[in-house]
C-alpha cells in the first residue's frame, strides 16, 4: 500500500493526489493548488502526494523508509515505535553561511544576516530546483504552528522530497487536512519549498541520506516564503522550525505587533500553589533545555514544561503579555542529555522518537555521550562503524538529535497548547566572568538593553579582563529575519503596548561564572530553581533588592542556598561587579552597537551611557 491510499477524500489527476473539494472551498484552495502545480512543474517529481498527518500515514512512511534502508527500527523492547536515521557526514547541522534573508532592501536584512537581491536569488533557485525531484515523490505537508485555528497560530504548507522531513514535520507541527479547510476559508499561509537536491535517473539506486554539496536556505520576508535546497538535516529541512517560526514569524510579528522568540516557556508553581509563567532566551549550550524541564531541588516548588525552544508573544487587551509555544514537539540535541543532567528529557524519549546521528547499541537501543556515565563496551557509531571506548572519537555526532512529541514529556503542563500570561523574561549567556548569578532590570527599556547585549565568552577570560565575546542578542542572532537594530526598536514599541504594572519583569542570569581555578561557582541544574525562587519572590514584592550599576541583585541572605555549602566568599564572587571590567565591556558594547550604524534605538544608546555613568560614580 502506498501513502496515496491513506486519504479517503482524494482524487488523482496527472499523477497528483490532492484534496477533492467543490464550491467555495474549491475556489479557496485554487491558489494552493496552482502553487503546488508550479513547484511540481519546476522540480519534476514522479508523483505529488498530499499528506494528512495521520498515524497511518506515519506508519506507512516509516515502513517504507526502513525497507529502503533510510531508517533503522530500534528494539521495541527498549524503544517502541522509534527509529534511527544516519545522515551523510557532510549534512549534520544548520548551514548559516548559506542562509539568506532576501528582503527587498538590503538594509532591512541588516549586518547580521546574509543578504542577496531577491530577483537574482530567485534565478539561482530556479536553476538548482529545475528537475531536482526527478525520480522522487513530492509530498505536500499542510501544517499549523500552534493549535489549528488558535488565535495566535499561523499556517504553512511545505512541499518536500524527503520522507524523513515529512515524518519529522508530523511530530514538530500540527499536520492535518484541517489546515486546508482554513486555507479554503481565506486564512493566510506561509509557502515553504524543500528539496534534498538529489534527483534519480531511471533505474538509479537511492542512498540512505540523499543531499547535495550545494545548499541554500532562503527566506523571502515580504512574500512569506522559504526555499531550502541541498540539505535534509534539522532546521534546513524542517522549515516550520527556525525558518518559519522564527525568521519569517519575526517579520510577521514586526508587521503585526507581536514577537517571535527563541525562548523556552515554563510554569513555576510555588509551595502555596500559585503559578507563574517564565520565558527565557539562552544561546546554545547555555542550559536552555535543562531549564525547560527543570526539577527543583528546593522543597515544595514544581516546574511544568510549556515549550523548550520557540515562543510567540502578543500584547493582550488586558495589558499583559501572552505567550504560546507554536511547536508540537521537541527537536533536541542528544549529547549531554542524561540521567544526571536532564532526567525529564530522558524519560520523554521512552518511545515514538526519531533519533538522528546517535550511536546504536548491540541490543538495538541508542546511546550518546552523556546518556550514561559509562559508555557501553561496543557500539555502532553514527556513521555505521564499530566503536569502543578506546576508539578516540565520539560515538554520536555532537549535533545528533531526537525528535519527539511534546505531549510525551512527563513534565508537560496539561494546558501546554494554550496561551499563558507571562510574568518574567530571563536572558542568559555562558559567562565565566563579569555577569552575576542573577540581575533584575530596572524597567522594560533596561531589560531590552540586557537582551540586546547577551553574549558568551568564546574562551576563558584572563584574570581581571573581559574575554572575547560572542554576541547573540536575545539568542536570536541566527534567527532574526530582519535588521537586528530594528528588532530592538520593535521590542521597545511592544513594551509601550503593555501596562507598566502588568508587563513581564526582566532578569539576566548566569549559571556559568567561574572561580580563579576554572571551577564553576554555582552548582547549576536543579539548583537553578533557587534563582527562580528569588525571581518569584521579587515578582510578589516579598524581598527587596540591592541597587548596583548594572541592575538589582539579591540582598545578602535572601537567596536560598540552604544545604549547598557555599562559602560567603563564593557567594561574593557570584555577585561581584568590577567597575573596570564593566567599563571595558561597555566599550565592547559600543563597538557592537556601532556595527548597526544609526539604526540603534536612542533609548539603548542612553542605557549604555547611563551604565557608564553609574560605573564611574559607584
Active site residues: 286
Residue 72's closest CA among 369, 382, 368?
382
Letter string b/e over residues 327-362, b meaning 16 or more CB atoms within 10 A of that residue's CB: bbbbbbbbbbbbeebbbbbbebbeebbbbbbbbbbe
Report the DSSP beta bridge partners of residue 277.
Answer: 267
Residue 427's closest CA among 441, 406, 413?
441
Q: What whole-number distance in Å separates Cα of residue 260 and Cα of residue 251?
A: 8
Cβ atoms of 582 and 618 within 8 Å: the answer is no
Going by the DSSP 8-state scheme, the letter that residue 491 receives in this structure is H
Q: What whole-number distance in Å separates Cα of residue 42 and Cα of residue 129?
A: 7
- Cell 540523499: give the residue: 210
| The three cell numbers locating residue 435 | 555577569
Q: Enumerate the H helices of 476-617 as residue ranges.
A: 484-496, 529-539, 568-574, 579-594, 602-617
Burial bucket for residue 475 (CB in 10 Å: 0-12, 13-18, 19+): buried
Q: What whole-number distance in Å separates Cα of residue 518 and Cα of residue 520?
A: 7
Cβ atoms of 31 and 63 within 8 Å: the answer is no
Q: What whole-number distance in Å separates Cα of residue 198 and Cα of residue 211?
A: 6
Rg (CA), the chain: 25
Q: What whole-number distance in Å separates Cα of residue 607 and Cα of residue 613?
A: 10
Report the DSSP beta bridge partners of residue 554.
Answer: 545
| The three cell numbers locating residue 97 | 553561511
Q: What whole-number distance in Å separates Cα of residue 429 and Cα of residue 468?
A: 13
Query: In residues, how long is the chain?
Result: 618
| The three cell numbers locating residue 72 | 533503522
Q: Angle, to 10 degrees, between the axis of helix 602-617 and the axis of helix 579-594?
A: 160
H, E, C per residue of 283-294: CCCCCHHHHHCC
| The three cell numbers locating residue 572 | 561574593
The phi and psi torsions of 606 (rounded to 5 degrees) equal: -65, -40
- Cell 494528512: give the residue: 52
| The three cell numbers locating residue 14 | 496527472
Q: What is the distance of C-alpha 476 from the center of its chain?
A: 10
Going by the DSSP 8-state scheme, the letter that residue 555 receives in this structure is P
Name 63's Cβ contacts closer than 8 Å, sequence gap at least 6. none
Q: What whole-number distance in Å separates Cα of residue 300 and Cα of residue 270?
A: 7
Amino acid at each position: 500500500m502506498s501513502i496515496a491510499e491513506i486519504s479517503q477524500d482524494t482524487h488523482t489527476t496527472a499523477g497528483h493526489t490532492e484534496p477533492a473539494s467543490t464550491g467555495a472551498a474549491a475556489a479557496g484552495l485554487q491558489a494552493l493548488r496552482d502553487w503546488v502545480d508550479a513547484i511540481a512543474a519546476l522540480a519534476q517529481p514522479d508523483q505529488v502526494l498530499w499528506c494528512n498527518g495521520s498515524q497511518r500515514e506515519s506508519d506507512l512512511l516509516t515502513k517504507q523508509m526502513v525497507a529502503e534502508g533510510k531508517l533503522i527500527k530500534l528494539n521495541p523492547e527498549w524503544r517502541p515505535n522509534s527509529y534511527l536515521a544516519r545522515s551523510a557526514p557532510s549534512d549534520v547541522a544548520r548551514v548559516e553561511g548559506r542562509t539568506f534573508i532576501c528582503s527587498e532592501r538590503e538594509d532591512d536584512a541588516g549586518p547580521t544576516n546574509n543578504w542577496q537581491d531577491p530577483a537574482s536569488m530567485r534565478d539561482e533557485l530556479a536553476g538548482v530546483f529545475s528537475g531536482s525531484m526527478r525520480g522522487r515523490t513530492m509530498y505536500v505537508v499542510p501544517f499549523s504552528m500552534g493549535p489549528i485555528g488558535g488565535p495566535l497560530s499561523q499556517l504553512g504548507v511545505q512541499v518536500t522530497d524527503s520522507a524523513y522531513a515529512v515524518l519529522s514535520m508530523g511530530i514538530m507541527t500540527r499536520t492535518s487536512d484541517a489546515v486546508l479547510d482554513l486555507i479554503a476559508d481565506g486564512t493566510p499561509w506561509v509557502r515553504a519549498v524543500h528539496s534534498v537536491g538529489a534527483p534519480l535517473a531511471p533505474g538509479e539506486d537511492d542512498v540512505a541520506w540523499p543531499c547535495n554539496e550545494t545548499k541554500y536556505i532562503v527566506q523571502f520576508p515580504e512574500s512569506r516564503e522559504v526555499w531550502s535546497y541541498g540539505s535534509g538535516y534539522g532546521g534546513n529541512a524542517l522549515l516550520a522550525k527556525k525558518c518559519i517560526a522564527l525568521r519569517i514569524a519575526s517579520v510577521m510579528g514586526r508587521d503585526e505587533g507581536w514577537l517571535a522568540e527563541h525562548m523556552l516557556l515554563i510554569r513555576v508553581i510555588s509551595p502555596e500553589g500559585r503559578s507563574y509563567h517564565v520565558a527565557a532566551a539562552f544561546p546554545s549550550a547555555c542550559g536552555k533545555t535543562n531549564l525547560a524541564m527543570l526539577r527543583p531541588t528546593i522543597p515544595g516548588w514544581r516546574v511544568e514544561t510549556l515549550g523548550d525552544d520557540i515562543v510567540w508573544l502578543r500584547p493582550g487587551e488586558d495589558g499583559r503579555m501572552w505567550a504560546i509555544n507554536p511547536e508540537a514537539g521537541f527537536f533536541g540535541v542528544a549529547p549531554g542529555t542524561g540521567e544526571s543532567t536532564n532526567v525529564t528529557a530522558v524519560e520523554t524519549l521512552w518511545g515514538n522518537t526519531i533519533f538522528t546521528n546517535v550511536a546504536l547499541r548491540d541490543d538495538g537501543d541508542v546511546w550518546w555521550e552523556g546518556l550514561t556515565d559509562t559508555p557501553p563496551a561496543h557500539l555502532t557509531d553514527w556513521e555505521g562503524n564499530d566503536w569502543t571506548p578506546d576508539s578516540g572519537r565520539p560515538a554520536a555526532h555532537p549535533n545528533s538529535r531526537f525528535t519527539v512529541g511534546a505531549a510525551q514529556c512527563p513534565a508537560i503542563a496539561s494546558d501546554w497548547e494554550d496561551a499563558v500570561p507571562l510574568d518574567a523574561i530571563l536572558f542568559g549567556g555562558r559567562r565565566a566572568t563579569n555577569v552575576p548569578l542573577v540581575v533584575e532590570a530596572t524597567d522594560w527599556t533596561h531589560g531590552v538593553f540586557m537582551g540586546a547585549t547577551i553574549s558568551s565568552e568564546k574562551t576563558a577570560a584572563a584574570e581581571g579582563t573581559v574575554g572575547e565575546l560572542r554576541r547573540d542578542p536575545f539568542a536570536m542572532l541566527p534567527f532574526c529575519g530582519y535588521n537586528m537594530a530594528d528588532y530592538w526598536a520593535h521590542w521597545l514599541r511592544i513594551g509601550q503596548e503593555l501596562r507598566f504594572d502588568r508587563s513581564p519583569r526582566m532578569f539576566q542570569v548566569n549559571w556559568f561564572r567561574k572561580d580563579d581555578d576554572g571551577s564553576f561557582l554555582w552548582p547549576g541544574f536543579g539548583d537553578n530553581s533557587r534563582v527562580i525562587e528569588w525571581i518569584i519572590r521579587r515578582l510578589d514584592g516579598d524581598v527587596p533588592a540591592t541597587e548596583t550599576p548594572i541592575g538589582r541583585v539579591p540582598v545578602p541572605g535572601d537567596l536560598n542556598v540552604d544545604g549547598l555549602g557555599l562559602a560567603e566568599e563564593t557567594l561574593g564572587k557570584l555577585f561581584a561587579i568590577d567597575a573596570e571590567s564593566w567599563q571595558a565591556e561597555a566599550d565592547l558594547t559600543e563597538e557592537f552597537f556601532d556595527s548597526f550604524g544609526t539604526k540603534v534605538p536612542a533609548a539603548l544608546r542612553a542605557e549604555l551611557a547611563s551604565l557608564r555613568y553609574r560605573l564611574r560614580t559607584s
